[in-house]
Structure 1
Amino acid sequence: MSDDNTRDKLKGKAKELIGKATGDKSKEREGKADQAKAAARKKAAAVRDRVDGAKESLKRRNDS
């Protein structure tokens, strides 16, 4: 998952810079959207990890 995030972030940054350099606002917005998608995916993974950690903690507590 991390590789996908990195790839989307870099791809988005490249599109944004190309859009800025060429004056293509559509390409610039597309790049920003790719970067936002990568950031959202990263945050979702962090939340998922915290939930999994909390579930495991509760399970250990109940098993004791």
Structure 2
Amino acid sequence: MLSNREVTILRYLVSGLSNKEIADKLLLSNKTVSAHKSNIYGKLGLHSIVELIDYAKLYELI
């Protein structure tokens, strides 16, 4: 299960924001966003942004 923060980052990722842009919006470091991104992909068993977008659409996260 994704944490609230991971869902927030997932939504920003699928909307096209870069790690740096997400970090700036959430007042996090780029490294922290990268770690969350890796956790998201790992927890969901995904390997690409296309798969992430499909997942987000399927589960109505976007």
TM-score interval for Structure 1 and Structure 2 normalised by the shorter chain: 0.3 to 0.5
TM-score scaled by length of structure 1? 0.36
TM-score scaled by length of structure 2? 0.37
In terms of fraction of residues, the more helix-rich structure is 1
Larger radius of gyration: 1
